Structure 1
Amino acid sequence: MKLFAAVALLLTLVALPARADDPFYAASVDTADRGEQAFRTSARQALARVLVRVSGSEAVLEMPEAAAALAKAAGNVSLYRYTTVGDQRVLFVQFDPDLIKGILRRSGAMYWPEQRPPVLAWLVLDGPSGRRFADPATDIELIEGLREGFSNRGVDLRLPLHDLEDQATITTETVWQKALPQLQLGSRRYGTDHVLVGRLVELSSGAILCDWLYFDSESRMTRQSRSEDLMAAVAPAVDLAVDSMAQQYGVALIDLAGTSHLIVRVEGVDNYDQYQSVSELLSSIDVIEFLQTVAIEADAVVFRLSGIDDNETLLRLLPQGSAVSVLDSSAEQQVSLRWMAP
């Protein structure tokens, strides 16, 4: 079946609209009061959090363009509201996605799209009664601190179930010895390649000593931390995992002025519903600024897009589980895909 003739009306260049309300570009910060100075301070803190989350790295805050944007953060707030949590006043601040991308683009910082894999954490505590797995019901400060730390960086934290299936593969000694083959095998059921292993010891002085291992399908890294404060002790674990992930998944935002376009040909598209599904798939990639249908064939559609100027970046940004397969990406700035869904 050929595509409906009405699709020809779509052969125009379309700017992809930003989402009106997106927590990915927002942050909640404690604020002293509703005064102007407190608002400016809180807006600056919120923008710093958003820049770190979206870029994937705290290094962005050291860049001159980001520093200049932070100085005038209050004037660039797109939405804000006050709430109260307990006795603390909290300010929710949201920024326009295009503003954030523009800062990152001018800074030369990387951009890490919102669709991110989770991190699975195996945590063992060594105490007077021996070694045990961290328990969300009793180790609330530890678990919630890690969860909040990852959430602030735009990554979800997962915890193992510690059920019979886990127990058959991973014990406290498996974690303590950092037995990588067993950890990889036992983590596979949770559907993520990104795993954090933590060994925590509370010293007689009251300090907390932590030994962290992060691994994925490509790398393995370790870090140690020690602090009197639990949150300060676990913060390096978040940095260890998220910084590594950002290096893998981050992409450079190109300057649209004078940039070339990428041509994407998708085969296996022979009806309007399939065409719409393919268009929505490409439109869901955050860094694509414009998407244009340039040709409709009997069983294929050809798109021109901007915001991405190389094949490798496009293939990296296709959502996991997408109903497409790669036919050919050898030609410069041209990719051939096949639509696999009905």
Structure 2
Amino acid sequence: MGLSRYFFVGCLSLVSLASHAETLNGLYQVLEPVSSQAPQEREQATQRALQTLVIRLTGDAKAAEGPGLAAIRKDPQQIISQYGYDAGPPESLQVDFDPVSTDRALRDAGLALWGNNRPSILGWWLNDSTEGSSLVGDGQSAAEPLRRAAQHRGLPLRLPLGDLDEQIVATAPNLESADPAPLRSASERYGADALLAVHAREEAGQWQAKWRLWLGDKAEQGSVQGADTAALADAVLLAVSERLAPRFAVKAGVSSEQLLQVQGMTLERYAALGHLLEPFGAQLQRVDGDRIVYRVNGSSEQLRSQLSLAKLQEVPAGEALAPQPVQPPVAEGAAPAPLPPAEPEPQLRFRW
């Protein structure tokens, strides 16, 4: 049975893409520390949870204060499904927001939303304190503030093992360098989408950090400070989220509609590719052998960023020639049948 027939009869299994992007679970669940379970404390924590969620979904720290969400700020219960308390530490209010009503409220407010399929990030984090210099490795107690901050900011963060070879590579000069080559070589074993380098230093009881982020051919950098390692980790990952979100967030009714062709399709890739394109309202248009065409609503740059998570390569314009309509055989004495109309040309072409 051919690939095209499989697509249309729907005999598909949900499998993962040949990529390292991660689908985040718990994106709409927020934990906010509290000092008590008093009603006033709960109300304040609920407002903080709302702001945290809006930043997670938009990457915009000011979005929650916009006029479009005034009604939600006044009564956040309309998008909350349930709440409870987590013993911690620290003790926290756990707020579960309803994904459907939340997305609708944010889109009605004119906000662009970042879906739950996000680039995995490998974090090289070096702490310099009065106790010495140490690379934060997976499984260490020092990794816990980083994991909490990543969950709080909606980012899939991974950490290296922190073995001797990695400690030799993850020096302060390498972490602060604009050249990621040494870290990239050491990162290959982890297969993450993005590379995050952080050099954190404690000075006079305060923490400050310089960070660099590489995803694809784009690099970002910045510096933050915090009262302790937990606050510093949250500040770093908030900054990373704010830089990444514009590449992926889609605003309803604003992005341009266009055709996207993907070559090299197999049955195993179909369902997962559809999931990756969900934020762009993808509609299947046609299948021709191992080529599939979707109608999508999104900017070219956002689509390129999203498809890069699946390690797809863009096909140069000169290589992608559309098949020409073929004149069917004509019986002797019969008038030739009209050629079928040419299919509309995809604006973007990618291949596996």
TM-score by length of 1: 0.70
Inter-partner Cα distance in structure 1 for 2:30 and 2:226: 28
Question: Which residue matches 1:278?
Answer: 270
Q: How does 1:115-264 map to 2 (within 5 A)?
A: 115-127=118-130, 131-134=132-135, 140=141, 143-171=143-171, 174=173, 178-181=176-179, 184-190=181-187, 191-192=191-192, 193-203=194-204, 207-216=205-214, 218-225=218-225, 227=227, 229-247=228-246, 249-255=247-253, 261-264=257-260
Inter-partner Cα distance in structure 2 for 1:87 and 1:234: 17
Deviation at 1:167, TM superposition (A): 4.1
| Closer/same/farther in 2, CA of residues 71 and 169 from structure 1, 3 Å limit | same
1:88-139 Cα offsets, whole Å, 9 max, x none, are 7654332233333334434444433322231413213232x6x321556998
Question: Which residue matches 2:19?
Answer: none
Counterpart AA for 1:198: H
Question: Which residue matches 1:313?
Answer: 302
Deviation at 1:184, TM superposition (A): 4.1
Counterpart AA for 2:124: A
Inter-partner Cα distance in structure 1 for 2:4 and 2:221: 53
| Closer/same/farther in 2, CA of residues 332 and 242 from structure 1, 3 Å limit | farther
Deviation at 1:9, TM superposition (A): 6.4
Deviation at 1:147, TM superposition (A): 2.6
1:235-284 Cα offsets, whole Å, 9 max, x none, are 4333333322334x33331228xx87433334455xxxx35732441233
Question: Which residue matches 1:336?
Answer: 349
Q: Does the 8 Å contact 2:113/2:251 carry over to 1? A: yes
SS in 2 for 1:24: coil
Inter-partner Cα distance in structure 1 for 2:83 and 2:224: 39
SS in 1 for 2:127: strand
Inter-partner Cα distance in structure 1 for 2:202 and 2:305: 39
SS in 1 for 2:197: strand
Inter-partner Cα distance in structure 2 for 1:161 and 1:4: 44
Inter-partner Cα distance in structure 2 for 1:303 and 1:198: 43
Counterpart AA for 1:281: L
Q: Does the 8 Å contact 2:112/2:251 carry over to 1? A: yes
Q: Does the 8 Å contact 1:48/1:70 carry over to 2? A: no
| Closer/same/farther in 2, CA of residues 235 and 91 from structure 1, 3 Å limit | closer
- The count of residues paired between Structure 1 and Structure 2 equals 306
| Closer/same/farther in 2, CA of residues 320 and 276 from structure 1, 3 Å limit | same
| Structure 2 unaligned blocks of 5 or more | 11-23, 319-343
| Closer/same/farther in 2, CA of residues 332 and 312 from structure 1, 3 Å limit | farther
Inter-partner Cα distance in structure 2 for 1:294 and 1:233: 47
Q: Which of 275, 284, 288 matches 1:293?
A: 284
User: Is 2:261 the counterpart of 1:265?
Assistant: yes
Identity of aligned residues (%): 19
SS in 1 for 2:120: coil
Question: Which residue matches 2:295?
Answer: 304
1:150-203 Cα offsets, whole Å, 9 max, x none, are 2211113343433232244344x5368x3444x641344224543232231242
Deviation at 1:295, TM superposition (A): 3.2
Inter-partner Cα distance in structure 2 for 1:321 and 1:48: 30
Q: Does the 8 Å contact 1:105/1:255 carry over to 2? A: no
| Closer/same/farther in 2, CA of residues 255 and 95 from structure 1, 3 Å limit | farther
Inter-partner Cα distance in structure 1 for 2:68 and 2:223: 31
Inter-partner Cα distance in structure 2 for 1:302 and 1:238: 36
Q: Does the 8 Å contact 1:56/1:243 carry over to 2? A: yes
| Closer/same/farther in 2, CA of residues 139 and 298 from structure 1, 3 Å limit | closer
Inter-partner Cα distance in structure 1 for 2:78 and 2:71: 12
RMSD over aligned CA atoms reads 3.9
Deviation at 1:310, TM superposition (A): 3.6
Inter-partner Cα distance in structure 2 for 1:224 and 1:4: 51
Counterpart AA for 2:349: S
Question: Which residue matches 1:53?
Answer: 56
Deviation at 1:214, TM superposition (A): 2.3
TM-score by length of 2: 0.68
Q: Does the 8 Å contact 2:29/2:96 carry over to 1? A: yes
Q: Does the 8 Å contact 1:126/1:132 carry over to 2? A: yes
1:274-326 Cα offsets, whole Å, 9 max, x none, are 3573244123334133x443334455443334xx244433232226235x543
| Structure 1 unaligned blocks of 5 or more | 11-20
1:65-96 Cα offsets, whole Å, 9 max, x none, are 1343222211222x325344169765433223
